[in-house]
Structure 1
Amino acid sequence: MDSPRLLRRYLLAALSAVLLASVAVGPAQADPARAAHAQADPAPRAAAAVTFQDTFDGAAGSAPNSSKWQIETGDNVNNHERQYYTAGNNNAKLDGQGHLVIEARRENPNNYQCWYGRCEYTSARLNTSGKFTTTYGRVEARLKVPRGQGMWPAFWMLGNDIGQVGWPNSGEIDIMENVGFEPGTVHGTLHGPGYSGSGGIGAGYSLPGGQAFADAFHTFAVDWSPERITWSVDGTVYQTRTPADLGGRQWVFNKPFFLILNLAVGGYWPGDPDGSTPFPSQLVVDEVKVTTGEGAGGGSAIRGLAGKCVDVAGANPANGTPVQLYDCNGTAAQQWTVGSDGTIRALGKCLDAAGGGTADGTPVQLWDCAGVPAQQWVVSGARDIVNPQANKCLDVTGNNSANNTRLQLWTCTGAANQKWTVG
């Protein structure tokens, strides 16, 4: 986002008090046939553990769960936003159907005063400060954004030490921002010392074919590990950032952060609403979830033939890097997360059947996560790792236990070179 987005009243009162007190896209289509062992109940595995989740179940009209969220109030002069954030369930409430609805309205029932005079709009902003923080892991939300000029929904994080070091030294991770004049584009951005405001480091992601994000729910996520943050929309990775992107400036993202959801109205970046902007406008939140694996979000080892590990060659995160067998060494190149979406991930990318291939001997590699069948895997109770599209198993080429032996797809035989222990 283009400025600190910190409310004057909140920073001076509530926030300080709380803190100080405490893609290779495979061309083949999915094959409906699956091996019997692929349909077996999955074996226990070291998938990431859920550390925070809210599915917003509750009675229609009730306020967000106060054990997970606190509500901020006030205006925001820093961005020249036009709304006043209200308390309780005035502008943020459950709809009784498993959603949180954050609603922006053109109203001022209580004569709220903003930086520019009498406020023109109300809305809501929630955060988990003092209730939940995370360091690393997968942070995601399934959202449907509003449409209209001047709308500015966001899902983001701030460093938990903001009360001590201030912004931007605290760091800020913007997981998703959308401005109304770009209905088909969202942005992910890092802010820190020397790269804040309009100088933030980030990128945008656009839906194909002129689609608008307001038309449907989408899942926005970051996969965050030491020295690396990767952004995705609906499983498609669109950027990865490391300290190398900062030009020698300080990386401030190896510490606890808390979560924020808000719907702003107007401001420097989106501009003000106009006669075409619908009110009320709603940011609808289906779920917010944080998962972390072993090793501070890095995942866990996958061991196979001769007790060796599935390894990304040279710890190189580039697309097309071979995935191989190698002595287990505990490095990030051997830390894998088995996701609920069927992916197996390391270094912010996915285990992938090269070129979407399904034939025996198709090599496996690392590639940007794209939500395609070539990146779908099932860990069976028999310890096979199966690609359902190919109906084939992850296999050590030639049953060779030497370091650097490439992994591939092969017809499932039950042999030792196709048996894997996750975690």
Structure 2
Amino acid sequence: MAAAHRARRRSFGGVVLVITTALIAAALLSFSGSVAPRANAAVTAQTWSDEFDGAAGRAPDATKWTLETGGSGFGNHELQYYTSSTSNAALDGQGHLVITARKNTDAGLGCWYGPCQYTSARLNTAQTFTQAYGRFEARIKIPSGQGIWPAFWMLGNDLGTVGWPHSGEIDIMENIGREPNTVHGTVHGPGYSGSGGLGSAYSLPGGRAFADDFRVFAVDWSPNSIVWSVDGTAYKTLTPADTGGNKWVFDHPFFIILNLAVGGDWPGGPDGSTAFPQTMTVDYVRASSSGGAPAARPVRGIGGMCVDVAGASSADGTPIQLHTCTGNAAQQWTIGGDGTLRALGKCLDVAGGSTADGAVVQLYTCNDTNAQKWAYTAAHDFISIAANKCLDAKGNSSADGTRLQTWTCTGAANQKWTVG
């Protein structure tokens, strides 16, 4: 478990928990994973985004975000007062939202412990956007310093009726200042909340700090799993089997939250080493979904050849090959929000769940294992989630009947694929 010392995040003030805005499905396909060839995302339709374009000093878009206010401590004994002021949340004119934590100069602001020491901002989409399942990602440059606690996370839209943790919570990214090169991904639900939350930590290699650059933090959420990734590298998968018999509450719409807390039970308070102001800079926030039943389309590889089910057979173990494009059903693939590629009612599968170079790819009954999960990146790689290797045309050949396999990603033409 990640963050065994983490306190709960309970319900907040300033949010009307009646969701009335319908989701507007985008018609345009979006490769929502990072361009890094380790993304864990399917080809999906973007349903919501904020790119934070606008003049410097402008407030966040009120049609997308609600700014919460107050100094209650938010269930964690946090020290900041959240304001709606542009001194704490504003666009920078360069396509970013900047959330700023400052030392407080307003003697009129009261917090749970007395006069507030700090101000900051917390934004949510509870009144404007909720969604069940899909990919949720943000590109963020986080701050650093003891007692600083940035987060990108989600809460269930039934929070106001069932309460926390029964509504569920998905923490896509949390960082505490004393861990500059580590972030945490966690879920909270009934029987696994607060210090018992389920998840994992991810640390940058080489001791690098997250505050040094922008990173893409994401979850890919399906009915049967939640997968966390940083810059396209998946580092944790949770399924209903991981709750120890407790209820899996990640089966309904959630809304998005961005915030920068100061102090609290988990990070502890700032000390003499902590500089202010602190800034959390957000390049974008995006959500995408398969939008219902995905359309079937061809997948083309080297030489313009199509990915084909040999003999148009739907039997388990049927080889997958390249073949001249004919438009028949054996060459029509659906790419779902759960990461599967399907044809003839079955899934593209790495035989035996192998992680070795040269593992054959076949058609097989869908079974929700990572051997049947694929990530399609902006670089046009299909990557096996189980093997972390690329879909590859054997021998760099484009001849009819060339078998497909998994192989270490090289960037070569026989590992590049176009959809549609």
* TM-score grouping bracket, smaller chain normalisation: 0.7 to 0.9
Matched, 1:389 2:386: no
* Residue 352 of structure 1: how far off its partner (Å): 2.3
Whole-Å separation in 2 of the counterparts to 1:139 and 1:240: 15
Gaps of 5+ in 2: 22-36, 300-306, 313-328, 331-342
Measured at CA, do residues 7 and 87 of structure 1 come closer, stay the same or move farther in structure 2, by a change above 3 Å?
A: farther
Q: Is the 8 A contact 2:381 2:415 kept in 1?
A: no
Q: Pairwise mapping of residues 156-175 of structure 1 onto structure 2 (< 5 A)? A: 156-175=153-172
**Equivalence for 1:185:** 182
Whole-Å separation in 2 of the counterparts to 1:390 and 1:421: 14
* Residue 3 of structure 1: how far off its partner (Å): 3.3
* Residue 219 of structure 1: how far off its partner (Å): 0.5
From 360, 363, 368, give the equivalent of 1:326: 363
Whole-Å separation in 2 of the counterparts to 1:100 and 1:278: 20
Q: Secondary structure at the match of 2:241?
A: helix
- Cα-to-partner distance string for 1:124-161 (whole Å, 9 max, x where unaligned): 00000010011111110000010100000000000111
* Residue 334 of structure 1: how far off its partner (Å): 6.5
Q: Is the 8 A contact 1:169 1:193 kept in 2?
A: yes
Whole-Å separation in 1 of the counterparts to 2:247 and 2:406: 32
Whole-Å separation in 2 of the counterparts to 1:190 and 1:144: 22
By percentage of residues, which structure has more helix? 1
From 53, 56, 70, give the equivalent of 1:60: 56
From 110, 131, 137, give the equivalent of 2:134: 137
2:413 aligned partner, one-letter code: N
* Residue 297 of structure 1: how far off its partner (Å): 9.1
Q: Secondary structure at the match of 1:163?
A: helix
Matched, 1:282 2:320: no
Whole-Å separation in 2 of the counterparts to 1:349 and 1:51: 27
2:118 aligned partner, one-letter code: Y
Measured at CA, do residues 136 and 114 of structure 1 come closer, stay the same or move farther in structure 2, by a change above 3 Å?
A: same
Measured at CA, do residues 331 and 218 of structure 1 come closer, stay the same or move farther in structure 2, by a change above 3 Å?
A: closer
**Equivalence for 2:225:** 228
1:196 aligned partner, one-letter code: S
Measured at CA, do residues 177 and 355 of structure 1 come closer, stay the same or move farther in structure 2, by a change above 3 Å?
A: farther
Whole-Å separation in 2 of the counterparts to 1:299 and 1:293: 12
Give identity over the alignment, percent: 51
Q: Secondary structure at the match of 2:18?
A: helix
Measured at CA, do residues 64 and 317 of structure 1 come closer, stay the same or move farther in structure 2, by a change above 3 Å?
A: farther
Comparing 312-321 and 120-129, the one that deviates more: 312-321
* Residue 313 of structure 1: how far off its partner (Å): 3.5
- Residue correspondences, number: 351
- Cα-to-partner distance string for 1:109-132 (whole Å, 9 max, x where unaligned): 252111111110000000000100
Q: Pairwise mapping of residues 2-21 of structure 1 onto structure 2 (< 5 A)? A: 2-6=6-10, 10=13, 14-15=14-15, 17-19=16-18
From 364, 369, 388, give the equivalent of 2:405: 364
Q: Secondary structure at the match of 2:17?
A: helix
Q: Pairwise mapping of residues 18-417 of structure 1 onto structure 2 (< 5 A)? A: 18-19=17-18, 47-77=43-73, 78-295=75-292, 304-305=308-309, 306=312, 307-308=329-330, 309=343, 311-313=347-349, 324-326=361-363, 338-340=376-378, 342-344=380-382, 352-353=389-390, 364-365=405-406, 374=409, 389-392=411-414
Measured at CA, do residues 122 and 243 of structure 1 come closer, stay the same or move farther in structure 2, by a change above 3 Å?
A: same
Whole-Å separation in 1 of the counterparts to 2:352 and 2:247: 23
* Residue 245 of structure 1: how far off its partner (Å): 1.0
TM-score, normalisation: structure 2? 0.74
- Cα-to-partner distance string for 1:37-76 (whole Å, 9 max, x where unaligned): xxxxxxxxx9311111111110100000111111000124
